[in-house]
């Protein structure tokens, strides 16, 4: 099952997986490790992580505040799903979002989303969220994160050093007095960035000159690599979202999904959660854009 999930993840996130593989190969070359061995280790670690996540996902979601729906909510969800069997957990949050777990039949929806959605709209929204493409995309993001652990660690270290730069800017501003009087926020922001860049460059150069080429290069390049990765992940998330929307339309639930999106758009903009829950519900296309694409697809289907 895990191998099938990885295969599906490869189809959902081919570009980020290739991106991660190339960076991992470069990192392995810099530390003198065999590239095939590094790729095999990544594959093995991904299998182990997916198996562990699959087993521990219910416990993790409960720890993050998710709970079983109330009796009334369960009756409503079961009536909306009909013969489709899904394990739906509810998060008591005022924000409107829902996401798919690593297990294809596990969904998380906020109580606020349940309250604003009508039964007809709930059918389409739940069906779209449970699409296999969404589950494969979640698995793909886990695999990519494992492969890019060295770069992500370097990015975290770079962020920490940048914070030191802001602290240094605050110390310098207090010592000089005038900059904080004339331009307090701007001085701390821009001087902090300058000091942070100098600190990161200095530490990275020291690592390179000390023979730690991989660590130094990762620290110096993380500022460019990680934003590129995030942009690629966001593009693939929108691509997966479109595939799930098309699957919902093909199942005859397009108008129900459109009604749900219109309800969300009228209530408030959907905002992706943070932390681990953000993996389950990545930010997609803006709701008006997405609704317009679905409306065009439904009109084209009706015309045919």
* pLDDT per position as a tens digit, 286-296: 888 888 888 88
Q: What is the per-residue pLDDT for 11? A: 78
pLDDT at position 5: 73
The answer to the question of residue 158 being in a domain is: no
Q: What is the pLDDT of residue 218?
A: 85
Structure confidence at residue 253 (pLDDT): 84
Within a domain: residue 35?
Answer: yes
Mean pLDDT of 69-86: 76
| Parallel/antiparallel/unpaired status of strands 98-100 and 106-110 | antiparallel
User: Mind listing the pLDDT tens digit for each residue in 32-64?
Assistant: 888 889 899 988 888 888 888 878 887 888 888
**Does the residue 69 lie in any domain?**
yes
Model confidence band, residue 84 (pLDDT cutoffs 50, 70, 90): low
Expressed as residue numbers, the domain containing 24 is: 2-146+230-303
Q: How many domains does the chain have?
A: 1
- pLDDT, mean over the chain: 82
Query: Is residue 131 in a domain?
Result: yes
- Structure tokens of 300? 């084209």
The pLDDT score that the predictor gives to residue 280 is 74
Give a yes or no: residue 174 inside a domain.
no
Whether residue 268 is predicted with pLDDT greater than 70 in this model: the reply is no
Tens digit of pLDDT for each residue in 170-226?
888 778 777 777 777 888 888 888 888 888 888 888 888 888 888 888 888 888 888
Question: What's the pLDDT score for residue 138?
Answer: 83
Torsion of Cα atoms, 166 then 167 then 169 then 173, to 10°: 140
Per-residue pLDDT for 83 more than 70? no
Query: In the numeric block, which tokens belong to residue 203?
Result: 């530490």
In angstroms, the Cα distances linking 187 to 89, 176, 178, 197, 199 are 47, 11, 10, 15, 17
Mean pLDDT, to the nearest integer, of 250-275?
79
- Residue 66 covered by a domain: yes
- Residue 204 inside a domain? The answer is no
* pLDDT for 303: 64
Q: Per residue in 135-151, pLDDT tens?
A: 888 888 888 888 888 88
Is residue 206 a part of any domain in this protein?
Answer: no
User: How much is the pTM?
Assistant: 0.79
* Ramachandran assignment for 32, one of left (phi > 0), alpha (psi -120 to 50 degrees), beta (any other): left
Q: How many CB atoms lie within 10 A of CB 32?
A: 8
């Amino acid at each position: 099952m895990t191998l099938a999930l990885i295969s599906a993840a490869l189809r959902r996130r081919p570009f980020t997986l290739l991106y991660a593989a190339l960076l991992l190969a470069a990192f392995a070359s810099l530390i003198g490790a065999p590239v095939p061995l590094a790729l095999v280790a990544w594959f093995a670690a991904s299998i182990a992580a997916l198996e562990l996540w699959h087993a521990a996902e219910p416990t993790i979601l409960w720890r993050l505040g998710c709970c079983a729906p109330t009796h009334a909510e369960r009756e409503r969800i079961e009536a909306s799903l009909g013969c489709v069997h899904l394990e739906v957990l509810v998060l008591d949050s005022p924000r409107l979002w829902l996401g798919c777990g690593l297990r294809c039949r596990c969904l998380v929806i906020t109580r606020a989303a349940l309250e604003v959605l009508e039964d007809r709209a709930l059918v389409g929204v739940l069906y779209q969220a449970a699409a296999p493409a969404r589950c494969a995309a979640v698995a793909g993001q886990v695999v990519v994160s494992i492969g890019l652990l060295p770069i992500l660690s370097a990015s975290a270290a770079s962020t920490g050093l940048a914070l030191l730069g802001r602290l240094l800017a605050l110390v310098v501003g207090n010592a000089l007095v005038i900059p904080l009087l004339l331009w307090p926020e701007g001085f701390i922001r821009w001087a902090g960035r300058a000091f942070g860049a100098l600190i990161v460059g200095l530490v990275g150069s020291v690592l390179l000159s000390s023979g730690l080429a991989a660590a130094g290069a990762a620290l110096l390049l993380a500022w460019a690599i990680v934003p590129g990765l995030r942009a690629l992940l966001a593009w693939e998330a929108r691509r997966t979202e479109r595939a799930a929307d098309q699957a919902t339309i093909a199942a005859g639930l397009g108008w129900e999904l459109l009604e749900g999106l219109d309800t969300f758009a009228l209530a408030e903009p959907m905002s992706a959660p943070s932390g681990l829950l953000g993996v389950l519900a990545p930010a997609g296309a803006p709701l008006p854009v997405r609704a317009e694409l679905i409306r065009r697809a439904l009109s084209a289907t009706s015309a045919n």
